[in-house]
Amino acid sequence: MKIVDMFKIKKPVIAFEIFPPKPDVPVETIYDHLEQFTALGPDYISVTYGAGGSQKGRTLEIASKIKNQFHTESMAHFTCVGHSVEEIDKMLNSMHESGLENVLALRGDPPVGQPDFDFRKNAYCNASELVKHIRKVNNFCIAAAAYAEGHVDCRRLSEDLVHLKEKVDAGVDFLITQLFFDNRIFYDFIEKARAAGIDCPVTAGVMPIFKADQIKSITAKSGCSLPAKLVLMMDKYQNDPEDMRRAGIEYASIQIRNLIEEGVDGVHLYTMNRPKSTAEIMQNIKQ
């Protein structure tokens, strides 16, 4: 089923994001998690794509298994970094042959060890160009990324919204935001996006905090801000992993409950491959 059609049936659409095991770890290690994740009843599960396309084979394998063996809709992430047009078409055809109908089109991060990678060397140098290409083949439902606080490489949110509108006009069916920790930022972004003529569904990306150093690293790269109360929470529990996990679950649960109350189109939960913690969040938001 195409995810864009889910938004016509229900609100919010609940999604989990998982990532493939590292290349030196057997892919089978994720399979037990898949059973646990699908048992929680998400509307779909998205599977990430490694930097520079390093996990592309595993992404397809896992996304296919989610749909065909566990009978839960899936979405494969797909980037244009380091790929020729022929390689892009080959991967898209493989997705189609595996029964996948949904793809998240991304520019992607630089290949590992190449922080100064020149994206202009790609066949397509940004997500808008990739979206245009995907729109021409196999009738995929196409998602794309949005940045509630603006892309880290863009100096102004207003400029970023112009690029986002171009991406939507290229053929995007719905958007998924980067993580944020203050819902007011998301609501302000939605207001500005709608005013800019972006009228497709927008799913809110929520990342639970399990490790303080991990979140600080992620936010430093993404440009996402940390509210003062969140910094205090991380400082308080940073030396107690279990208390940090519980506090992170509670914070994410409060975020999601508020988003649902405010009528958000969807929630995209960055699970960090933690089925137990994901189950606790799902239980909390049902209360």
Model pLDDT, residue 117: 52
Model pLDDT, residue 51: 47
Decide if pLDDT at 280 tops 90.
yes
pLDDT tens string 3-34: 999 999 999 999 999 999 988 888 888 998 99
Residues noted as catalytic: 17
pLDDT tens string 98-147: 999 999 999 876 555 555 555 556 667 689 999 999 999 889 999 999 99
Mean pLDDT of 210-214: 89
Contact predicate 45/18, CB 8 Å: yes
Query: Cα dihedral sign for 31, 108, 266, 186?
Result: positive
Model pLDDT, residue 216: 85
Strands, E, within 126-270: which ranges? 141-146, 174-177, 202-206, 266-270
Computed over every residue of the chain, the mean pLDDT equals: 91
Cα–Cα distance measured from residue 79 to residue 48, given in angstroms and rounded to the nearest whole number: 10
Cα–Cα distance measured from residue 55 to residue 20, given in angstroms and rounded to the nearest whole number: 7
**Nearby residues of 74 by Cβ (< 8 Å), 6 or more positions away:** 44, 45, 46, 47, 62, 63, 64, 66, 67, 100, 102
Model pLDDT, residue 221: 83
Token representation of residue 40: 């929680």
Decide if pLDDT at 206 tops 80.
yes
Mean pLDDT of 142-157: 89
CATH number at residue 104: 3.20.20.220
- The DSSP call for residue 272 is T
Cα–Cα distance measured from residue 180 to residue 129, given in angstroms and rounded to the nearest whole number: 26
Give the amino acid at 30.
I
Token representation of residue 41: 């009843």
**Local confidence band at 262 (pLDDT 50, 70, 90 cut-offs):** very high
Decide if pLDDT at 52 tops 50.
no
Mean pLDDT of 252-256: 98
Give the amino acid at 183.
N
Q: Which helix (H) or strand (E) holds 172?
A: none
- Token pair 């600080």 is found at 216
pLDDT tens string 64-106: 999 999 999 999 999 887 778 898 999 999 999 999 999 999 9
Cα–Cα distance measured from residue 158 to residue 196, given in angstroms and rounded to the nearest whole number: 9
pLDDT tens string 163-203: 999 999 999 999 999 999 999 999 999 999 999 999 999 99
Domain count, the chain: 1
Decide if pLDDT at 287 tops 80.
no
pTM of the model: 0.93
182 lies in which domain range? Answer: 3-286
In the chain, the largest separation of any two C-alpha atoms, in whole Å, equals 51
Cα–Cα distance measured from residue 108 to residue 77, given in angstroms and rounded to the nearest whole number: 10
Asked if omega into 42 is within 30° of 0 (cis), the reply is no
Decide if pLDDT at 154 tops 90.
no
**Closest C-alpha among 87, 177, 172 to residue 128:** 172
